[in-house]
Amino acid sequence: MSYKVPYRIIIICTFFCLQQKIYSQAVPAVDENIPFLVTFGGESLTSWGDDDFCQVFFFLIPLDHTKPFYIRVYDPDTDGAYDENKGEFNTSVNFSVYGGSGCWSNDDAKATDPVGNFKSGILMATKTFDNSPEYDKNWFTFGPFNPLEGEFVEKFGGRVFKIIAQGLKGDDGNLYRYFLSTSPTENKEVEGGNVFTYEYTFRLANDQKHISQIYPFVDDKTISIQVSNFDWDNDGAIRIISVAKNGVLCDVSGEDKWVRREFPILEEEKNTTIELQFVKNQASLVKNNNVAIVVRNQYGETLPFYVIPIGGIPVYTPKIRMEGIKR
């Protein structure tokens, strides 16, 4: 005798990483939907959204890339179309490129405060920009650099360089972008390259429909993460998207304050990218909001934010499993 076994449907919420090819090495990346990085002058108030007036980015050059490369900076001056003035512009910001041993591996280089030997490695190029209009809405190019002059990091499968933007005198906000390029005059990607940071300080858009996102990578030793944000200014919500989290909300900070919240990491989230999503305040427009973001693991170690997310961008999809109902 045959009979039908009744089933119930169990929906298991999970994510997969969208395996799309993302080559652009713009910083911020197009997919991050962030208008600008921001660094304020060294005499500024931290309440403007920059907690330490310094920002460090690392550039990863794959081993099979042997030709010279360039690091290009868009609008490095502090004046004109995009920058944030506090009265008359009076700010200078230094950009310095480092390579060589210790450039990345020194612990101070990966810390979130510009103290100790955070300028580790070999200084390869430096330039200070003020309110001169020469580079307003224009590109300045550092290089050429020989990839062999970077620090070899086995786990990255390549060589690492870093650029430090540090506010010197003044109190204005310098808004700028980077591009990792094979050309001194055009933005041409280094195939297989990537760019990452351990503290992301950036400007949010003045559009309430705007959603921005950044992509920290969670390695296999991480069992929990602590998401920290600075000076959020009631500008909406911060959500986590991952292989096991569907828009989990983070605590958000007030004026000139850090806020931290810890989240467990499940086994399926290890060795994956997670997405921190920034959703603007829908009730009232918060203009010119600058914010700093840090993610740490259970040991207090900072996790890297990659502009090209490792494994791809997480996309939420349900999986359906069917089980027989016991009678």
pLDDT of residue 22: 44
Among residues 103, 90, 244, the alpha carbon closest in space to that of 161 is found at 103
Considering 167, 199, 231, which residue would you say is the last residue of a domain? Answer: 199
Overall number of domains in the chain? 2
Residues 210 and 128 in one domain: no
Q: How far apart are CA 27 and CA 29, in angstroms?
A: 5
Q: Is the pTM of this model over 0.85?
A: yes
DSSP 34-57: --EEEEE-TTS-GGGS-SSSEEEE
Residues 97 and 180 in one domain: yes
Q: What are phi and psi of 248, to 5 degrees?
A: -65, 130
Q: Supply the range of the domain harboring residue 249.
A: 8-23+204-327
Residues 19 and 48 in one domain: no
pLDDT of residue 314: 77
Considering 199, 226, 242, which residue would you say is the last residue of a domain? Answer: 199
Residues 33 and 178 in one domain: yes
Per-residue burial over 218-239, b = 16 or more CB atoms within 10 Å of its CB, e = otherwise: beeebeebbbbbbbbbebbbbb
Considering 184, 199, 214, which residue would you say is the last residue of a domain? Answer: 199
Could you list the mean pLDDT of each consecutive 10-residue stretch along the chain, which spans 327 residues?
Answer: 34 36 77 97 97 98 98 97 95 98 98 97 98 96 98 97 98 98 98 98 95 97 98 96 94 97 96 97 95 98 97 69 53
Residues 17 and 29 in one domain: no
pLDDT of residue 19: 36
pLDDT of residue 6: 35
CB 33 within 8 A of CB 201: no
Report residue 183 CA to chain centroid gap: 23
Residues 189 and 210 in one domain: no
Residues 193 and 224 in one domain: no
Beta-strand relationship, 313-324 and 7-18: antiparallel
Can you give the CATH number for the domain in which 46 is found?
2.60.120.380
